Amino acid sequence: MASTLSTAPVLGTLGLVVAGCGGTPARPPAPAPLPSSIAIVGATLWDGTGGPPVTNAVTLIRRDRILCAGSAGECAIPKGARVVDARGRYLIPGLIDSHVHLLFLTRGSAGEELGLDLRDLLAQGITTVRDMGTDPAALLSRVRSLQAAPRVHAMQLVAGRRFFFNGFHGTRTARGTIYRQPPAIAMQQLGWRPLQFDPGDDAEALVAAARKAGAMGLKLYAHLDSSSVRRLTEAAHRAGMPVWGHAWVQPASVLEQVTAGQNGVVHAAGLAGELFTVEDRDTLVRDGDLQAATAAVATVGAAHDPRVLAALDSMASRGTVFEPTLDAVRHSVASYDAKLRHIPSLQEEYVRSASRFGMEVTRQAVRRGVRISAGSDHVSYGPRTDRATLFGELRLLVDSLGMSPTAALLAATRDAARAVGGQPGRHIGTIQKGRYADLVLLSKNPLEDIANLEYVDLVIIGGKMWRPGQLRSGIAMN
């Protein structure tokens, strides 16, 4: 691009001179057409399907799709293809973070933060993200204006009436009474757009509104009973949309959500809800009630309670996917550990209980065959060191829970694609013919050490190749 721009004025001047002499104006030569195919040759290929890696592989890309992937003898390189020599490196599917929060408005604007964060995620090899709380229309319109970003899919957040109208009440503290607004108002100030659903409402109409806004599924958040969960899930499934929910959406428990047909649940600490009766769960509606209740019961031993294990077994048998979001809780614990002045609080007690309980619940989920999706609960605002990351989530799965690097990678590729679900999930997550050409080329083997995911040489999304440094600086690679 630089050479074309620098020579354009000269060529224009020469053209005028020739024209003035009566000759034919000079024209710059037409640029050579970009090759329609790319061949990545020599890498060790891990295609995410569950099969063993293939050494000295060939992966062919035509436009934005995988054309062929396998051993050198299986995939003939088309004439004129752009060849990428990947000998000594490792090719894996583009990573998927199935739980992020991207849109945070300040005075009505996301500023540059959103674009910078998305480029950084792409530079890490994350080619798809699913936003689990947002205004779908506003987020997707902003993403469409960006030159480089992962694929972004948005879920529509849904909650019951008490989330929007919890009554004007105060919480007594040592410093006096604190009055708080309903949670929905705080979300709306961030730029998010939760939808209200009451027991008598039309589930089909809510699903239609979510689809019109651009949402690809529903995220059930809070204050929904089991009947509402079932109606919303059935209506969304009729429209071809997946449904996920917070573990324990008050009062509906995880077991009730699973039996209602929900596709997945998020946040391991939420399984503390299984330790309460439905009547008790329905009373935990005021600010701090849920935190206090969890802090009181969420112990390592409680993760082995038969009611918790029954919910996990039901998830395993029905194929309900689980996003434990362990790294986000780890960051919260670390922030308390780093404080120079320690003042005990309910919030800290909750965070520490949630961390211990959630880790053990996830360990039990893995042992019982529950499918895990590596959603991080990453947010695109605030100090980068405070943000949960997909790498952090995967390292916890391996280092703290004993999953193999291969199993953890599946949680961020094939199984994360299944978690995303719907039409989008059918085209990502593995390196197979017809799937999107979303790939990551690494200089070190992630199957030996999950930390080797840090060594990204090249990111390919939809057949477009990017270097991590160029993404972070905003310069594209052709």
pLDDT tens-digit series, residues 284-319: 876 678 889 999 999 999 999 999 999 999 999 999
Does 471 have pLDDT greater than 70? yes
In the chain, what percentage of residues exceed pLDDT 90?
75
Identify whether the C-beta of residue 433 lies closer than 8 Å to the C-beta of residue 69.
yes
Give the pLDDT of residue 36. 77
25 pLDDT band (50/70/90 cuts)? low
Of 265 and 20, the one with more pLDDT: 265
In the chain, CATH 3.20.20.140 covers 95-425
Mean of per-residue pLDDT scores for the chain: 89
Give the pLDDT of residue 2. 39
For domain 95-425, give the fold: TIM Barrel (3.20.20)
DSSP code for 64? T
Mean pLDDT for 178-199 is 85
Give the pLDDT of residue 308. 98
17 pLDDT band (50/70/90 cuts)? very low
Mean pLDDT for 116-139 is 96
User: Which residues lie closer than 8 Å to 82 by C-beta, 6 or more apart?
Assistant: 34, 35, 37, 38, 39
Q: Which of 142-146, 242-246, 414-418 has the lowest mean pLDDT?
A: 142-146
Does 257 have pLDDT greater than 80? yes
DSSP code for 147? S
Tens of pLDDT along 401-439? 999 999 999 999 999 999 999 999 999 999 999 999 999
CATH class given for the domain over 37-92+433-473: mainly beta
What is the biggest distance separating any 2 CA atoms in the chain, rounded to whole angstroms? 94
Helix ranges (DSSP H) in 65-223: 113-123, 136-144, 161-164, 183-190, 203-212
Give the pLDDT of residue 465. 95
Mean pLDDT for 16-35 is 52
Identify whether the C-beta of residue 86 lies closer than 8 Å to the C-beta of residue 441.
yes
Give the pLDDT of residue 9. 35
In the chain, CATH 2.30.40.10 covers 37-92+433-473
Q: Which two tokens stand for residue 103?
A: 């849109």
Does 11 have pLDDT greater than 50? no
Does 111 have pLDDT greater than 70? no
477 pLDDT band (50/70/90 cuts)? very low
Can you tell me the distance from the alpha carbon of 296 to that of 352, in angstroms, rounded to the nearest whole number?
11
User: Which residues lie closer than 8 Å to 333 by C-beta, 6 or more apart?
Assistant: 351, 352, 355
184 pLDDT band (50/70/90 cuts)? confident
Tens of pLDDT along 219-243? 999 999 999 999 999 999 999 999 9
30 pLDDT band (50/70/90 cuts)? low
What are 244's strand-pairing partners?
A: 219, 264
Q: Which of 25-29, 73-77, 216-220, 288-292 has the lowest mean pLDDT?
A: 25-29
Q: Which amino acid is at 45?
A: L
